[in-house]
Structure 1
Amino acid sequence: MTRPCHDAEAGCLYVVSTPIGNLDDISRRAIQVLQEVDWVAAEDTRHSQGLMQQLGISPRLISCHDHNEQQRAPDLVARLADGESGALISDAGTPLVSDPGYRLVRACQDAGVTVVPIPGASALLAALAVAGQPSDRFLFEGFPPAKGAARERVLERLAAADVTTIVYEAPHRVLSLLEALAPKVAPERELTLCRELTKRFETVRRGPVAEVLEWVRADKDQQRGELVLVLGPAPQSDLLSERDRALARALLEELPLSRAARVLAAHTGLKRQALYNYLETVDS
């Protein structure tokens, strides 16, 4: 059983996971902590107020989001150091997973304030569990940039990733993301679209990227709600962008295979062994 935070000698910050849809997914421990703390730092206090009402509790809510976290952290840390207890929540799921909060956590740790996780629902892990994609290793890219060169760089990383890769995407941008991704990957490359996880209209569909694209294009309902995309690992033909494939060929003309793989790994950030295996096929 969790010791009440206000019994901690110098205060305590709990990082509390809340439901991503189904209210029953919140743990008893999370409810207990939210009942006992002196305050709850919330990403959107209006949204969180509704959750607290559903849970039948009424903690003091303090706004803590991307735009004010840096300024608010010192005051919250001071409260904790004075013996108050607090909790950090996001709008849904586990805080700090594409949500604010790491600055507050770091400030607490730097001040010697104890930070305790209260695990629970996470759209990231829920999607990975039902995606039907390899899960021994995976990469999380969060929300891709909305446009421009930064978005293109993320798409190139997705296309080249040799591990399962997970992204969140806004519903009004999911179609454009799939349209941009489809030409960059091999025809057999699979993607799982997870929508509205744990909610009434939960949808999970796996198939080749082009097939999922056509499905989303034909059904506007799939362009609504909370979305998680899980892209399977790239085959060797997808490992590098066209520009990096040209670089690989140039390196092989000048360097031994192992050295070329090392240089290419430093340039791309990909695993040297995966690049070595790829370069063997080019070299042959």
Structure 2
Amino acid sequence: MFEAILLTVSMAATPLLLAAIGELVVERSGVLNLGVEGMMIMGAVTGFGVALMTGNPFLGAFAAIIVGALFSLLFAFLTLTLVTNQVATGLALTLLGLGLSGMIGESFVGQPGVRLPRLDVPVLSELPIVGRLLFSQDLIFYVSVFLTLGVVWFLFYTKAGLTLRSVGDNHSSAHALGIKVVRIRYMAVLFGGACAGLAGAHLSLVYVPQWVENMTAGRGWIALALVVFASWRPLRVLAGAYLFGAVSIGQLHAQALGIGVPSQLLSALPYLATIIVLVLISRNRRLTMVNTPASLGRPFVPDR
């Protein structure tokens, strides 16, 4: 029973972790992309559709990454090249994704999905408790963990990571030093979009291997809150994703046990937890400002 709970928590946490770690890199570059939900839902419908038509869930996951990146490229072009408002553009991208995914996925409703298979490590997968949890998971789970560790290494142990952080902290000074601010932000936004697309694919190929309209159910917004909750630190994002995953799964088990609390309130627990965390963080200004990229959300035009 305990092992099964841990497995479901890891499945619930994986899309949150992927979307949040991608958004963390985007925000570290000084860009605020509120279109995560839209990119996730497009990744979900694309991954499901391609897997259904080809019978290959790996192709579905790859297609979801491409579509997420393309959606983020649209956001980057509007905000970085045309210098539109980042908040408004991100919200518009989310609305576009939700509407477009509903139209594309209309014929997929009720269709049996193609599940991404588990990768079993011989011998190790038979270990009690940790065996299935660590050595018998789907490919996207492993990608999410190694990607988080890779982001830690990139941001804090490489020159390229230092350059990206300098762009997020002061884009004017970075530009004066000859750093290609817009180019770096384009690459960061594309990375974030690819991660969001893969997060969506996990929902429709692993978590619930079928297509349901609006199946992201606000996870993109929770991922955005996770970045703030983690104060822009990758390992804290990892911990936060599993914490929120546990809350999501906890409310499902509470409903199954028949606890005398309205099911609607239990279903709202993940979002209520998000609000409470953000309120608590906002009360501590020092904690909020310590790692916040100083240029976050500020437009940059080289010739001004």
Q: TM-score, normalised by structure 1?
A: 0.21
Whose strand proportion is higher, 1 or 2?
1
Say which structure is richer in helix: 2
Calculate the TM-score normalised by the size of structure 2: 0.20
